[in-house]
Amino acid sequence: MSLRGTTFLESVLQTLKRAIELGGYPQEAYEMLSRPQRIVTVNIPVKMDNGKIQIFTGYRVQHNNALGPYKGGIRFHPEVTLEEDIALATVMTFKNSLNGLPYGGGKGAIAVDYKKLSKRELEELSRGYARALAPFIGPEVDIPAPDVGTDPQIMAWMVDEYSKMTGHNVPGVFTAKPVILWGNPVREYSTGFGVAVWAREAAKKLWGGIEGKTVAIQGFGNVGYWGAYWLEKMGAKVVAITDSRGGVYNPSGLKLAEVKAVKDKTSTVMNYESSGTRKVTNDEVLELPVDILVPAALENVIHKGNANNIKAKLIVEGANGPTTADAEKVLHTKGVWILPDLAANAGGVVMSYLEWVEDLQWYFWDEEETRNRLERILLDTFNRVMNRWNKLGMSQVTIREAAYVEAVDRIYNAMKVRGWI
């Protein structure tokens, strides 16, 4: 076994099993929720710019729909695997349940390095994926959204392709679309906003407030940037930021707007320079002496090999599955609060739900009203998770386990009244 220990899927299933035991649910609940209901595999031919045909393999994992249509993102990444997609879809089931959404969980992926594709090739691949999945998705069946490597433009191509196949506009089949195509401006920053809201609320309980607390962020994509933006607006001090190449650290605080400008101009935050700022690696940023750590890149970055070196008191999971089960045990023993992905980074899917509601009724809220609706749902989830954690015994269980019990309870009762169990 490597230093990183258990795989992402193994970690998810371990937590599920623990939640089943803590909640007193029957073994049948674990059997139902430990495997997906359906796995769709598609092979998509794309005519490349050199005239040759290349076949790309994609997946759509539909995990559980007891609470409603499957819901989850689509990932374009060269290292995606079916096992990873199953884990992500499983987490989406619990994330949607935990946040009170009328959704089950799903996740999609294509094994591709999208950065190596031309815009035309990327569009053809996106449309081909939508065509291949058309019989298995729909606004009342399965509603995809962006994830790593995908964005609103790709959603626009996909919703257009699906609409062409049905013969009419179907805005509710994909979410996180461009605003001009029935999207909502809050969606761009909703996941990062949710990370900040959860960090702020936890900081109130830990320290009485977030003002002046130092933050290190691993990952400076959409979630990392907007998480930093809202944390800074809430009064926290962002002292370290990294992207895929590495990053920078200044204990006195970074000027976020300047860091973002350097990233936009040179493609990496590593080129940012200021007095007192030094370069750090993606491994080093996790171990800096900060109050709050936000892993907002990929999964399994916090593992048993580095858990003892982490100094932050509060970890807010902006990424999906950044902490392994082995590491979580170590950190919980140290008294570290870990706000789990299915709660802390749920702002995106909650906003997708609000966008879907808008699309179904062809009626759209303004940005401020939308953000207020989003924040109310996030605060409700935070309070329910904290109450559940308190009831289960804060020293005995992790926040993730409490969140899973809260999520499983709703799914279990839905399956029970349906007659599935």
Sign of the torsion formed by the C-alpha atoms of 280, 285, 291 and 292: positive
- Hey, how many other C-beta atoms are within 10 angstroms of the C-beta on 421? 16
Is 107 catalytic? The answer is yes
SS3 content of the chain, % helix, strand, coil (to 5): 50, 20, 30
Tokens 């990062």 belong to 192
Phi and psi torsions of 210, nearest 5°: -100, -10
User: Which tokens belong to 231?
Assistant: 């944390």
Q: Is 101 helix (H, G, I), strand (E, B) or coil?
A: coil
Instruction: Select from 338, 330, 262, 351 the least CA-distant residue to 293.
Output: 338
Name the β-bridge partners of 314.
Answer: 292, 337
Residues 6+ apart with CB under 8 A from 54: 45, 46, 48
Rounded distance between C-alpha atoms, residue 102 and residue 69, angstroms = 7
In angstroms, the CA 95 to CA 80 distance is: 21
**Backbone phi, psi, residue 279, to 5°:** -80, 145
* Residues whose CB falls within 8 Å of the CB of residue 161, separated by 6 or more in sequence, listed in order: 126, 127, 130, 131
Task: Decide if 258 contacts 272 (C-beta within 8 A).
Answer: yes
Place of tokens 């309070």: 383
Neighbours of 419 (CB within 10 A): 6
- Tell me the three state secondary structure of residue 105: strand
Dihedral, 153, 158, 163, 169 alpha carbons, nearest 10: -30
Place of tokens 């495997």: 35
Active-site position among 107, 177, 237, 304: 107
Beta strands in 193-333 (DSSP E): 214-218, 237-243, 246-249, 278-280, 292-295, 314-316
Which residues does the annotation mark as catalytic? Answer: 107
